[in-house]
Amino acid sequence: MPKITITFQEQGSDPITVELNEKIAGILDKFVEDQVETSTNENGETVSTPKYTGKADLFMKHTQASLIQPLVEKYVADFETNTVAQIAALEEQKKALENTIKNNFAPKLV
């Protein structure tokens, strides 16, 4: 089994590369082969379906499930909460500024 190279690159940055040796690649292959989901078709026959299409699929699904999704759930909620609070604060500042302008700079009828 050939080694695996995983490259991560953000736009404008140099790529970061991780290499997995042949032994680890073989272990991943075996894991992917062993991961099947079974179901019963309409004829009552048991059908086995691979859970992963390959090592890249395994990597992407686990990265999504164990890294990306938990971070998104945590930080998007924090971001949305902070954004709502910031909008409310800005609206209060806007009202205060409008009142200041109205009370100090609006023409007064005599």
Q: Considering its fold, how many domains does the chain have in total?
A: 2
Range with the lowest mean pLDDT among 1-10, 47-56, 76-85? 76-85
What integer is the mean pLDDT of 54-72? Answer: 91
Same domain, 77 and 98: yes
Q: Report d(CA 7, CA 68) in Å as an integer.
A: 17
- What pLDDT shows up at residue 92? 87
Confidence tier at 7 by pLDDT (50, 70, 90): very high
pTM of the model: 0.61
Same domain, 101 and 57: yes
Strand residue runs (E) in 1-110: 4-8, 16-20, 36-40, 46-50
Residue 110 covered by a domain: no
The token pair at 10 is 């953000």
What integer is the mean pLDDT of 8-12? Answer: 94
Q: Report d(CA 98, CA 95) in Å as an integer.
A: 5
What integer is the mean pLDDT of 10-19? Answer: 95
Q: Report d(CA 43, CA 38) in Å as an integer.
A: 14
